[in-house]
């Protein structure tokens, strides 16, 4: 940590800061520049980080040298982590997220009925998706909007999972539901609005199911990594990160898909990262181009929404792909993945 002093800092103020630093078991190192004096603080940054050095008289600003996350960082864990999802049907191959294969998770936005779930899941699987996505609990801005089928939805998911032999990812919104949802899901999804629901993060850190964390609408990449750190620090090593668009001033898309987050996360962290172009753009016609862009940017997977009759969708109809458009997109993505030395 580097403390930059005000020009007006007095000798006494500087002495006071140095004393405090030593009191905390750390080492101050003063450097008098031509115009400014700075104090480097040497020692365990975890200790330093908790101290409000900005408030000491004479301090102008404080700069952090170390990253606030550790378990999530590539410095701590150099090689890529891949998350393995056990096969639903014994003897089949597991699904690996973070390897050579780009893993597509597709399905309806929410479980709307047993029939439509089966119909869409079959289509998703036929097109090449390796995991089915569908929400039983839906976080909705309005209390008057469809809130999901809840436990009934999970039961439909479970039945479909067994019959099609395909793993599922589904959202958990409430600490009270974590254990229950963990019994049904192959991957637990933490939604964008819950990315900083810290108790929920702690709770999913204690179960033995992989966790997919969606980046919050206004969360920095560093905050996303800190949320991963919450889960990792509870003992759950299987964390997947998901870029799904951030909130900006641009009104033509629902959010702004920040694809630079993919290579930035790859540089900063060892965790796999996928992209959700459906929620990022909010418009089905933008999804093919942004799916291809995500794959070209190096994403380890995609999350796609499909609906055969978007006119009847109970949530997010405008961003759902029609089955034939999904099929076409998957073919194009296959060609693209090959050109990039990957598969789909």
| Residue among 307, 99, 96, 123 at smallest CA distance from 187 | 96
Which listed range, 82-90, 96-104, 115-123, 173-181, lies at the site for a copy of itself (CB under 8 A)?
A: 173-181
Smallest distance, a copy of itself to C-beta of residue 100, A = 17
Two tokens at 309? 């009759």
- By CB under 8 A, is residue 308 in contact with a copy of itself? no
9 class by beta-carbon count within 10 Å (0-12 exposed, 13-18 middle, 19+ buried): buried
Nearer to a copy of itself, 99 or 282 (CB): 282
Beta strand pairing call for 95-97 and 103-107: unpaired
Among 11, 25, 93, 144, binds a copy of itself (CB under 8 A): 144
Cβ atoms 62, 2 nearer than 8 A: yes
- By CB under 8 A, is residue 220 in contact with a copy of itself? yes
Smallest distance, a copy of itself to C-beta of residue 167, A = 25
Smallest distance, a copy of itself to C-beta of residue 41, A = 8
Among 10, 12, 19, 44, binds a copy of itself (CB under 8 A): 44
| Residue among 105, 132, 97 at smallest CA distance from 277 | 105
- By CB under 8 A, is residue 257 in contact with a copy of itself? yes
- By CB under 8 A, is residue 198 in contact with a copy of itself? yes
Task: Please give the backbone phi and psi of residue 192, each rounded to the nearest 5 degrees, phi first.
Answer: -55, -40
Q: What is the DSSP letter of 216?
A: P
- By CB under 8 A, is residue 25 in contact with a copy of itself? no
Smallest distance, a copy of itself to C-beta of residue 173, A = 6
| Residue among 335, 308, 306, 320 at smallest CA distance from 129 | 306
Smallest distance, a copy of itself to C-beta of residue 88, A = 29
Among 13, 24, 43, 101, binds a copy of itself (CB under 8 A): 43
Q: Residues 5 to 24: which contact a copy of itself by CB under 8 A?
A: 7, 20
25: left (phi over 0), alpha (psi -120 to 50) or beta: left
Among 22, 84, 339, 343, binds a copy of itself (CB under 8 A): 339
Two tokens at 41? 């603080």
294 class by beta-carbon count within 10 Å (0-12 exposed, 13-18 middle, 19+ buried): buried
- By CB under 8 A, is residue 318 in contact with a copy of itself? yes
Q: Residues 98 to 127: which contact a copy of itself by CB under 8 A?
A: none
Q: How many residues does the chain have?
A: 344
Nearer to a copy of itself, 121 or 227 (CB): 227
- By CB under 8 A, is residue 251 in contact with a copy of itself? yes
- By CB under 8 A, is residue 180 in contact with a copy of itself? no
Q: CB 193: neighbour CB atoms within 10 A?
A: 14
Cβ atoms 97, 300 nearer than 8 A: yes
Among 223, 308, 325, 327, binds a copy of itself (CB under 8 A): 223
- By CB under 8 A, is residue 317 in contact with a copy of itself? yes
Smallest distance, a copy of itself to C-beta of residue 184, A = 18
- By CB under 8 A, is residue 260 in contact with a copy of itself? yes
- By CB under 8 A, is residue 262 in contact with a copy of itself? yes
Cβ atoms 77, 105 nearer than 8 A: no
Q: How many CA atoms lie within 13 A of 151 on its CB side?
A: 6
Nearer to a copy of itself, 97 or 232 (CB): 232
Nearer to a copy of itself, 126 or 198 (CB): 198
Q: Is 180 helix (H, G, I), strand (E, B) or coil?
A: helix
Q: Residues 272 to 301: which contact a copy of itself by CB under 8 A?
A: 280-281, 283-286, 289-290, 292-298
- CA distances 49 to 21, 66, 171, 228, Å, are 12, 9, 33, 19
């Amino acid at each position: 940590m580097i403390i930059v002093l005000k020009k007006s800092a007095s000798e006494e103020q500087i002495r006071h800061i140095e004393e405090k630093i030593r009191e905390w078991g750390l080492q101050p190192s003063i450097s008098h520049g031509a115009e400014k004096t700075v104090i480097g603080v040497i020692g365990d940054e975890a200790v330093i980080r908790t101290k409000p050095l900005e408030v000491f008289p004479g301090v102008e600003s404080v700069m952090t040298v170390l990253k606030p996350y550790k378990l999530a960082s590539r410095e701590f864990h150099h090689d890529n982590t891949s998350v393995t999802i056990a096969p639903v049907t014994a003897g089949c191959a597991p699904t690996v997220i973070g390897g050579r294969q780009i893993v597509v998770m597709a399905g309806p936005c929410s479980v709307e009925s047993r029939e439509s779930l089966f119909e869409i899941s079959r289509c998703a699987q036929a097109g090449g998706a390796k995991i089915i996505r569908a929400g039983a609990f839906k976080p909705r801005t309005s209390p008057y909007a469809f809130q999901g089928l809840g436990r009934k939805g999970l039961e439909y998911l479970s039945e479909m999972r067994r019959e099609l032999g395909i793993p599922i990812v589904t959202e958990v919104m409430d600490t009270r539901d974590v254990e229950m949802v963990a019994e049904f899901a192959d991957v637990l999804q933490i939604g964008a609005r819950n990315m900083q629901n810290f108790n929920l993060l702690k709770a999913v850190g204690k179960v033995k199911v992989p966790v997919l964390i969606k980046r919050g609408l206004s969360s920095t990449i560093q905050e996303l990594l800190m949320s991963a750190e919450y889960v990792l620090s509870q003992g759950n090593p299987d964390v997947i990160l998901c870029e799904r668009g951030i909130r900006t001033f641009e009104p033509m898309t629902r959010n702004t898909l920040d694809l630079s987050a993919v290579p930035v996360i790859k540089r900063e962290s060892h965790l796999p990262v996928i992209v959700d172009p459906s929620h990022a753009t909010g418009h089905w016609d933008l999804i093919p181009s942004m799916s291809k862009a995500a794959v070209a940017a190096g994403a380890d997977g995609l999350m796609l929404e499909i609906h055969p009759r978007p006119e009847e969708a109970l949530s997010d109809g405008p961003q759902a792909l029609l089955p034939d458009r999904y099929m076409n997109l998957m073919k194009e993505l296959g060609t693209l993945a090959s050109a990039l030395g990957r598969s789909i």
